């Protein structure tokens, strides 16, 4: 069975979470991005309160755009760290698939989390009508509120680091985020 198999039945697409609402908490298994088995553990969003968190929802490990997106964010991880932000990348593939993906790409600068039943994706409104993830990014402030939201309709491009860094900076100061 493939790690990217959509749900067997169409699902009603939910709207993306709006800016200003509390980010739904979750705990997901994952890997630290190093591609090593000892990097496995669970990550809980609420455990990161006090830090700004960039949630990157991506459709599939090893797809060309997803690989380019996660590689770009890894190359720019210092920009996120300078702003005090943590990055978590989430997709429906298994932890084992994430480990292979990370290993095949020299590792990533952040954890890859497995939302196998797509429950987190559903709560964040990133599922398309057939249950596939839509490429989406949320910035969650230190208090746990959504401060930036972008959900792609086609998923052929991704949000540039500069835009996300501006959203993180805005979340730190309470300023209005850039338009997604």
Which residues are designated catalytic? Answer: 66
Whole-angstrom distance, CA of residue 84 vs CA of residue 79: 9
DSSP secondary structure letter of residue 27:
E
- Can you read off the two tokens belonging to residue 45? 């969003």
DSSP assigned state of 109? S
Q: Which residues of 123-139 are buried (b: 16+ CB within 10 A; e: fewer)?
A: bbbbbbeebbbbbbbbb
Q: Give dist(CA 125, CA 146) in Å, integer.
A: 13
Contact 141, 171 (CB under 8 A): yes
**DSSP state, residue 63:** -
Whether the CB-CB separation of 69 and 56 falls below 8 Å is answered with yes
- Location of structure tokens 């929802």: 57
């Amino acid at each position: 069975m493939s790690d990217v198999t959509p749900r067997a039945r169409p699902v009603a697409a939910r709207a993306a979470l709006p800016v200003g609402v509390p980010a739904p908490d979750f705990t997901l298994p994952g890997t630290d991005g190093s591609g090593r088995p000892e990097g496995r553990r669970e990550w809980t969003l609420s455990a990161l309160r006090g830090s700004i968190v960039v949630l990157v929802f991506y459709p599939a490990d090893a797809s060309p755009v997803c690989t380019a997106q996660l590689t770009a964010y890894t190359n720019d991880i210092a920009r996120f760290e300078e702003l005090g932000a943590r990055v978590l990348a989430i997709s429906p593939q298994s932890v084992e698939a994430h480990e292979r993906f990370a290993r095949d790409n020299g590792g990533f600068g952040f954890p890859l989390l497995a939302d196998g039943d797509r429950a987190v994706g559903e709560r964040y409104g990133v599922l398309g009508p057939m249950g596939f993830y839509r490429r989406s990014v949320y910035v969650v402030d230190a208090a746990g509120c959504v401060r930036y939201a972008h959900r792609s309709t086609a998923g052929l491009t991704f949000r540039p680091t500069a835009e996300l860094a501006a959203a993180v900076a805005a979340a730190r100061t309470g300023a209005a985020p850039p338009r997604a």
